[in-house]
Each structure stands twice: as structure tokens, then as C-alpha cells.
Amino acid sequence: MSQSSQPANPTGKGSPVRDVRMRGFQDRTDVPDVLELLKNSLRPLPSVEVDLHEAAGRVLASDLIAPFAVPPFDRAAMDGYALRGQESFGAGPYNPLEFEVIGMSLPARPFADEIQAGQAVRIMTGAPMPIGTDAVIPVEAAEEYSDETAKMVRITEAVPPGRHVGKRGEDIEPNTIVVHSGRLLRPQDVGVLASLGINPVPVIGKPTVAVLITGDELLPCGSRPERYRIVDTNSVMLEGLVQRDGGVCRIFAIIPDRREAVREALQVATSDVVLISGGSSVGQEDHVPKVLAELGQLKVHGVALRPASPTGVGFLAGRPVFLLPGNPVSCLCAYDLFAGPAIRRLGGKSMQMPYRSACLRLARKIASAVGRVDYVRAIIRDRQVEPLATTGASILSSTTRADGFVLVPHDSEGFAAGETVCIYLYD
């Protein structure tokens, strides 16, 4: 590791920093060490309570225990006739048995009395089983008719006790943990909570994320390029990434390349996480690292990564600040490797890559250098991974042409053609 990997003291201020403007980086921090710094420095946010309708996709903050059984009563699993199962033994097509129909049980409208021997109750799916019954004859095996004195049902099938009956607690037993803390709540999880009347739901808070974009050459997103000025693409890209990772995004106006403007923007950005794109490299107008070091801590500046080597990580009033390169591919790379994992950790989610992945053979070699991680855009063709020839950090369209990216580890010189590699899929 080139720089200290000790856990950050996020409350520190005025950390010393070498001015790399017009000088370049003397050393760079390894990618695994940056991730270890973030893991050791960040913890999930405090829990909040949300309405059941807003709980899907949130991370559960505490174990939830069933206050009662589901279902809370024995109920019919089919339409038919409820009776004593033992009394149906011997029934068949050539030996039908007959029972007196003394009433009906409907969902939320149970039959109130207890049945006696030789009696049955017409019952619908989901309706409570009448007292004294323990089985349901399906309508397909029954024929109801009326004689001079009563309604009767003739059955041609035997059903043992318990057949076609949903027993109390067969779904959920009372006082059991139904969903464990840390679960990313899925729609079916929320459905289970609804069945138990659990509302509101305790979940980990959503991280708020300030997005600051710097650059005199930039026009607001949605503009058209003019003369020597280009359109900001990073804010809208970061907004989508933050939303994907469960954060709440706030985008600030474009910040000019002036020291005091950068300082003011960092001071007013009071979100849980700050992303500042541009102004982090070694150019004359790259003021962000020095300003962050003066206001808080700059723990990392310069990462052994291609692209995105000018990435920085620091803390301001206990909040993580990520210095993301202005070149859009570098910005995407630095976000996915560092800022994204931090946002997910604060929101109680896994720091692992959120992308699907596939293990496929490499169509042609990928060259790298020991001591850095390479982020290689690639396509999948004929079930093989083919790296794109375009490697420029400013060519954002390469990420739309690519199916995904391959990460070459820092201790590798690359991969030979024919090797199996892991490709992370953008979709």
C-alpha cells in the first residue's frame, strides 16, 4: 500500500496533503486498501420507520416477530363441504354416502354452530372450518339435493381428517422471526408483513447524496454544446447510479474552477455523502483536494487504477467525500468501485458490485501492469468476452457500446486469450 490503510478518523480536520498540481502523483493507493478504509470507517445509518407501502426495496433494521399465527384459524383450502373426515370412509362411486347440509360457511362469515354426526356444511375456500369438522369434500366429489325434509349432499370420495384444510399457523407460527434484520425487503416479504399487520416497518435510513460538478467548460445538463464548452454528463449519470444504490440525490449548480467557489460548495453540501466530480487531478485549476484537506481530511488522493487514478477519498464533519475524476468513464469507474459501495454500506446493503456477472472465455488478450487495477470495457460476442479497442477515459459512448466491464486485479499482468474471466454486465 502506498498510503496509510489505518481506519480514518473522520472527525479530524486540516490533514496535511501534498500539492500535486502540475507535479503529478508520487504514489497511489491500492484499490483494496481504499475499500478497506471505507469498510472500517462507515456504518449503516440509524433506522427510520416507513409505511408498509414504501418498505419494498428498503433494508430491514431489526428482526420482525410474528405476533400471532397465520392463518389465525383452520380454514377451507377448497370449495366443497366440511364434515368429519372419519365419517366419509368407505365412500366411492359405487357406495355414495349421504349427509345433511345444515348451513354454509363463507370467508369472514363462519357457520356459528357445531355439527353433529351425519351432518355437513357447505363451505367456500378460505372460510373458517365449522366447529366439529376436520375435512373438506371437494364439490367435484359431491352432489347436493333436497328431499322432502332437508337439504342433503351425496359424496363419492373419502377424505381423511385434515384433507383440504389449511391449519392454523401452517404459514407462520406465532412468536417466530419472520424476516431477519439486514434483509433487503422484497415484494413477497412486504406481503408477509402485511399478513401480520406490521406497520410501520423499521428500515435503515436512505443516504442523502450531494452531487457537485466542477468545471468552467461545462454547460448544464440538457444544454447543447457551444464553441469550446461541453455539456455536463456526470450529474445525470451519478444521479441514476445513486438512485440505483438506494440513495437520495441532490444535484447542485455547476461550480466554477475557483478555490473559494469549491470551498463554499463543500461547506454547504451537508448530505450524508458528497460526490464532487472534476477538479481532482494535477491541473492548475484542480483545487478540490487542497480545499478538502483544509476543511476536513483527505485520506486518499491518487489510486492505482486505470482509468480514474486521480480519485480521492476524504471526510468532512464525519461525512465521506469522494473526489471523482471529471472524465465521464473515470467518473463511472470511480463511483462503481468506491462511492457506490460506501452509499450501499450506509444504507445497510452489501458493498459488493450490484451488477450481474458472467464467467466466459476471453476472445483476445487483455494487457495490464502489476500494481494497478484495470477497468476494461468489453462486449460479449459468440459467448466470448472481447475487450473494446477504445480505452479513452472521456469516451462515454464506449460504455453504451459495451456489455460490461472486466476488472484486472492489481497483482496481474492481464489475461491471455482463451482464459475465463468475470465480466460485470451493465444491464
Average confidence (pLDDT) over 356-362: 97
The pLDDT-based confidence of 18 (bands split at 50, 70, 90) is: low
Q: Report in angstroms the alpha-carbon separations of 299 from 28, 242, 283, 293, 393.
A: 12, 22, 20, 9, 24
Is residue 265 pLDDT above 90, yes or no? Answer: yes
> Does the pTM of the predicted model rise above 0.75?
yes
Dmax of the chain from CA atoms? 107
- What whole-number distance in Å separates Cα of residue 196 and Cα of residue 379? 47
For the stretch 19-77, pLDDT in tens is 655 455 668 999 999 999 999 999 999 999 999 999 999 999 999 999 999 999 999 99
Q: Is 258 left (phi over 0), alpha (psi -120 to 50) or beta?
A: beta
Question: Where do the domains of the chain lie, and which CATH numbers do they carry?
Answer: 31-45+206-346 (3.40.980.10), 49-70+170-204 (3.90.105.10), 75-166 (2.170.190.11), 356-425 (2.40.340.10)
pLDDT for 93 equals 94
The SS3 call for residue 39 is helix
CB neighbour burial string for 388-405, b if at least 16 within 10 angstroms, e if fewer: beeeebeebebbeebbbb
pLDDT for 282 equals 65
- What whole-number distance in Å separates Cα of residue 254 and Cα of residue 105? 68
Q: How many angstroms separate the first and last alpha carbons of the chain?
A: 33
Q: Which of 6-20, 107-121, 182-196 has the lowest mean pLDDT?
A: 6-20
Q: Give the side-chain half-sphere CA count within 13 A for 20.
A: 23
> Sign of the C-alpha dihedral, residues 179, 183, 189, 190?
positive
Is residue 133 pLDDT above 50, yes or no? Answer: yes
In the beta sheet, which residues pair with residue 378? Answer: 387, 404
Closest to 273 in 3D by CA, of 315, 221, 329: 315
